[in-house]
Amino acid sequence: MTTTDKANGSLKTDIVVYVCILALSGLQIILAYQHAGGAQLMARMLALALIQAGLGVMYFMHLRDERRNLRLALIPATIFVLLMMNMIWSDSFRLLHMRPFMK
Amino acid sequence: MSEADLTMGGHVPGIMEESPFAIPSKKLVMWLFIISDAVTFGAMLFAYGYVKNASPDWPEPFTFSPSIINVMLMTFILVTSSLTMLVATRAAKAGDKAAGIRWTFVTVGGGFLFALLHIREWSRLIGEGVRLFQNPWGSPMFGATFFAITGLHLTHVIGGVIALTVVALGYKRGRYNSDDIEICALYWHFVDLVWMFVVPMVYLLNIKR
């Protein structure tokens, strides 16, 4: 029997996760209106979005029910690529502060 | 038995090894597609952050009404459609074909409604003068990045609506099985999760104060 064939949790769990994801979305909106913009707000927003994504991937997409080697094949590679994209920020700040295109 | 039988899927009991990930090949392919698509959306959002960070006059045009209310409604519909897709998958796996098809079409309805609300939001912004490389408020790149990210997501939603319709009809006729419903559901949940990043990055960090 494959993991696909297993019964994946209960509908009750799905509803709890659904409510959590909606509540986190609501929290994002409250945070957006309570704080002015900036790096701290963006970090909080991203943290909440990551929690939502984690809940969705593990419970809605049932990755937690799959074999560990599937999780190991998918998750670290994705995180590595996304982390490597952070190299762009130094150039973005260079544009902001040094204004190389200003006349 | 020929070599072609072995390589092209001619299964002989006792010869084929078990799948290393214990999932059907098509499900593994969907996971690989989702990973590559997640990286694509990640690159789009990083590019958006890059341009926004480097622009001192980045516009903040989204008011609570109608923009944020519209976004809240869209989020509710999309997350709810993920729940209905879970119910559809569960029904299909339990052998309840009618319920599986019914809930899949409820999900399709949710996706359709989401697309309509999205187009309404676009129309409003276009009406206010936002174009790909100009807008009345500030950095001209705002329109390009906004339409690129939300447009790519909208394309995924429309693609998902079409895919779910085709698979549900095929499932009804016996062409597809419950595994195919489950694989489409994976894609639909992914589209939902991408929206969780689009909302804060594109809308909530640009609200008008």
* pLDDT tens string B23-59: 989 999 999 999 999 999 999 999 999 999 888 899 9
Domain membership of residue A103 (yes or no) is no
Q: How far apart are alpha carbons B97 and B99 in whole angstroms?
A: 6
User: CA B124, B127, B131, B134: dihedral to nearest 10 degrees?
Assistant: -120
Q: How far apart are alpha carbons A81 and A21 in whole angstroms?
A: 25
User: Is residue B86 less than 8 Å (CB to CB) from chain A?
Assistant: yes
Domain count, chain A: 1
For residue A14, give the nearest of B38, B83, B182 by CB distance: B83
B68 contacts in A (CB within 8 Å)?
Answer: 29
Domain membership of residue B16 (yes or no) is no
pLDDT in tens, A2-28: 444 444 568 899 999 999 999 999 999
- Is A2 in Cβ contact with B53 (below 8 Å)? no
Confidence of residue B71 (pLDDT cuts 50, 70, 90): very high
Domain membership of residue B153 (yes or no) is yes
DSSP, collapsed to helix, strand or coil, labels residue A71 as: helix
Q: How is chain B classified by DSSP, letter by letter?
A: --HHHHHTT---TTTSPPPTTSS-HHHHHHHHHHHHHHHHHHHHHHHHHHHHHH-TT----B-IIIIIHHHHHHHHHHHHHHHHHHHHHHHHHTT-HHHHHHHHHHHHHHHHHHHHHHHHHHHHHHHTT-BTTB-SSS-THHHHHHHHHHHHHHHHHHHHHHHHHHHHHHHHHTSS-HHHHHHHHHHHHHHHHHHHHHIIIIIGGGB--
Interface size between A and B, measured as CB pairs under 8 A: 131
Domain membership of residue A19 (yes or no) is yes
User: Is residue B50 less than 8 Å (CB to CB) from chain A?
Assistant: yes
CATH number for the domain harbouring residue B145: 1.20.120.80
User: CA B83, B89, B93, B99: dihedral to nearest 10 degrees?
Assistant: 90
Domain membership of residue A66 (yes or no) is yes
Verdict on whether the full-model pTM lies above 0.80: yes
Domain membership of residue B138 (yes or no) is yes
A70 contacts in B (CB within 8 Å)?
Answer: 21-23, 28, 31
Question: What distance in Å separates residue B93's CA from the closest CA in chain A?
Answer: 8
Give the domain range for residue B155. Answer: 24-206
Whether ipTM > 0.95 holds is: no
User: Is residue A91 less than 8 Å (CB to CB) from chain B?
Assistant: yes
A67 contacts in B (CB within 8 Å)?
Answer: 21-22
Residues forming beta bridges with residue B48, ordered by sequence position? none
Domain membership of residue B60 (yes or no) is yes
Domain count, chain B: 1
Name the DSSP class of A59: I
Domain membership of residue A43 (yes or no) is yes
Spatial neighbors of A5 by CB under 8 A, at least 6 apart, are B93
Percent of chain A exceeding pLDDT 90 equals 64
B199 contacts in A (CB within 8 Å)?
Answer: 25, 28
Residues B87 and B140 sit within 8 Å (Cβ to Cβ):
no
Give the domain range for residue A34. Answer: 3-98
Domain membership of residue A69 (yes or no) is yes
A21 contacts in B (CB within 8 Å)?
Answer: 79, 196
User: Is residue B129 less than 8 Å (CB to CB) from chain A?
Assistant: no
Confidence of residue B12 (pLDDT cuts 50, 70, 90): low
pLDDT in tens, B146-168: 999 999 999 999 999 999 999 99
Spatial neighbors of B122 by CB under 8 A, at least 6 apart, are B147, B150
- Is B21 in Cβ contact with A69 (below 8 Å)? yes
Average pLDDT, chain B: 92
- Considering just the CA atoms, what is the radius of gyration of chain B in Å? 21
User: Is residue A7 less than 8 Å (CB to CB) from chain B?
Assistant: yes
Residues B89 and A7 sit within 8 Å (Cβ to Cβ):
no
Domain membership of residue A38 (yes or no) is yes
Residues A19 and B80 sit within 8 Å (Cβ to Cβ):
no
Domain membership of residue B9 (yes or no) is no
